[in-house]
């Protein structure tokens, strides 16, 4: 019963997440009535338009959504009015294939001026890697931007960067890295590709990570064998990390 309960919760969260990204690309102010497969009727109302590929979002206050676009742009959206304020100072992204500016997230106890966390694709010797960075917001710009981890996931492909961020509320964060389009990576503990990583909020490796003392394994790895995780949710009540990723034949798993 508990598993079913949290599966339903995860599905609801994913519905809301994908509904947001769909609705901001249709005509502003338009309200559309929809019915789910389960027969539940709901409304989708457009609150913004004219964006590229919106990728990550997080509420930084009850009436402000901080969001990223894959092309590297960052904005703050007021859902009530649809007004967007652009934020400068984000990371320099490598725009290739599925890469670019990816997720944005804040810890559960976030207040204005605290660290904001990003994942993005970074150029490294002509190849793309997934990186985790953080910055603080000062007015309409980001300051003190720093990389916490530039992963060992270099590939010339433009596929499967991941990436989502989740917090456990106990001083740790998780973020996902796709297999970079090279399937054997997901079974190789000497690369971050195809893994979910766990760090403390300053980017250090927790001593209780599962592979900290295993020779040849990267200590940041929490879970491996992943294709391209782009959805994560940490259930603090049950202390479980839920993740979803795209299957090779379509659909999620």
**Which active-site residues does the annotation give?**
160
Q: Which two tokens stand for residue 65?
A: 């959504």
Characterize the bridge pairing of strands 165-167 and 141-150. unpaired
Could you tell me if residue 178 is left (phi over 0), alpha (psi between -120 and 50 degrees) or otherwise beta? beta
- Count Cα atoms within 13 angstroms, Cβ side, for 36: 11
Q: Which of 173, 185, 167 is nearest to 224 (CA)?
A: 185
Closest to 202 (Cα-Cα) out of 65, 67, 107: 107
Rounded Cα distance between 141 and 137, Å, is 6
């Amino acid at each position: 019963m508990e598993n079913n309960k949290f599966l339903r919760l995860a599905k609801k969260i994913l519905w809301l997440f994908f509904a947001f990204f769909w609705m901001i690309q249709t005509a502003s102010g338009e309200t559309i009535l929809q019915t789910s497969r389960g027969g539940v009727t709901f409304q989708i109302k457009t609150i913004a338009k004219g964006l590229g590929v919106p990728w990550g979002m997080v509420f930084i206050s009850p009436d402000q959504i901080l969001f990223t676009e894959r092309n590297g742009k960052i904005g703050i959206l007021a859902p009530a009015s649809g007004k967007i304020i652009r934020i400068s100072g984000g990371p320099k992204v490598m725009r290739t294939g599925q890469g670019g500016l990816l997720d944005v997230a804040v810890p559960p106890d976030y207040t204005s001026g605290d660290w904001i966390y990003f994942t993005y694709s970074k150029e490294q010797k002509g190849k793309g890697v997934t990186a985790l960075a953080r910055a603080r917001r000062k007015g309409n710009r980001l300051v003190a931007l720093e990389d916490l981890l530039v992963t060992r996931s270099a590939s010339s492909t433009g596929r499967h960067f991941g990436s989502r961020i989740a917090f456990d509320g106990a001083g740790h964060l998780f973020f996902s890295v796709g297999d970079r389009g090279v399937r054997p990576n997901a079974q190789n503990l000497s690369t971050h590709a195809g893994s979910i990583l766990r760090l403390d909020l300053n980017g250090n490796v927790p001593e209780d990570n599962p592979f900290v003392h295993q020779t040849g394994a990267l200590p940041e790895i929490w879970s491996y064998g992943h294709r391209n995780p782009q959805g994560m949710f940490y259930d603090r009540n049950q202390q479980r990390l839920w993740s979803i990723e795209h299957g090779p034949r379509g659909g999620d798993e």
